[in-house]
Structure 1
């Protein structure tokens, strides 16, 4: 499958990283920063990759960076920033803490999003939603702007109010979508995947 010029990818790197105690996207897994694993998974799908961050440490990655339009609004603010910046209708949104995500899973997500008129398509494991592994249409920007103005910053309730489709991952794929948020989770990841 060739790269999709109709898709932009935005990796949200703006979290506080309190539990990790260091910038999550730059934490090393198998000798490479999380962000590199994610970029390598996205590159076969689209080369239009932008980092949403104000952290200058990401300049080493060599990709375009944009800062949040509204500071300190969490993932809702990051997604709004991405949608406002984007020139494409569909936008792949990923968090910076999913180093095991694969090109195959991303391709499937992008493909399914193109078959639906829903505002967003995101991954689901039968129990948990993963709206930070999703494809958002540019038209969703208005709902995100309104949520920021109303200070409704919880992402899952917001996306569930919008037109959406959930793409269920199978039991083997479940480990691929796991967020690595803490030192303990990183240690477990390294023990499981030496």
Structure 2
């Protein structure tokens, strides 16, 4: 099933990167800051691309990049996702965390080809541990509307994965599972560099 709903891309780069000890969005796995690299990838596959940032990051982002400043209404990754949804409520969002050093255009297109617009989201998941990866997923407008209600209720925490587990999420297994590797620590960073060689 194809969708007439526009698909925008969102790089989540407003996190504090406490475990890594430095801004994960600025790490250059591909010859440029990771947040820039992911933005360029999303530009290739989406109608528009945006970078989700904290207010204090606004002065360090080059004018070439479209940004959405987190409103700080919600906690965690939902902060960036739902701020973007508020700004463009009728579009679907292909959301990428900036700690995915091995994601590539092929993997994004594979996910998009398997999109189910009538689900709340289409998310990548590993075969042996089939939990949705909310930060490498296509979030549909209806799913995001329900996520706002979920967060406003305040009973279930602020975990996007928990929301997707408990709602209508279409899971897709990547052709190459390495694309879902998260780099959140110095050892992850070194491992990612080894895999990229």
Q: Shorter-normalised TM-score: what interval? A: 0.7 to 0.9
Q: Which moved more, 1:12-21 or 1:26-35?
A: 26-35
Task: Report the RMSD for the aligned CA atoms in angstroms.
Answer: 2.2
1:177 to 177, 180, 187: 180
- Whole-Å Cα distance in 2 between the matches of residues 176 and 74 of structure 1? 22
TM-score in terms of structure 2 length: 0.85
1:49 paired residue number:
49
Change (3 A) 1:68 1:11: same
1:90 paired residue number:
92
2:165 paired residue number:
160
- Whole-Å Cα distance in 1 between the matches of residues 180 and 22 of structure 2? 21
The DSSP-based 3-state class of the residue aligned with 1:179 is coil
- Whole-Å Cα distance in 2 between the matches of residues 161 and 61 of structure 1? 39
**Deviation at residue 52 of structure 1 after TM alignment:** 0.9
The DSSP-based 3-state class of the residue aligned with 2:41 is helix
**Deviation at residue 168 of structure 1 after TM alignment:** 0.9
**Contact 1:5-1:46 at 8 Å conserved across structures:** no
Change (3 A) 1:167 1:192: closer
TM-score in terms of structure 1 length: 0.86
Change (3 A) 1:158 1:8: same
1:108 paired residue number:
110
**Contact 1:37-1:99 at 8 Å conserved across structures:** no
Paired residues in the alignment total: 188
**Deviation at residue 29 of structure 1 after TM alignment:** 1.4
2:65 to 63, 66, 78: 63
**Contact 2:39-2:51 at 8 Å conserved across structures:** no
After superposition, give the CA deviation of every residue in 1:105-149 in whole Å (9 maximum; x if it has no partner).
111212221x44101000011114311111111122332222332
Answering whether residue 135 of structure 2 is matched by residue 135 of structure 1, we say no
1:187 paired residue number:
190
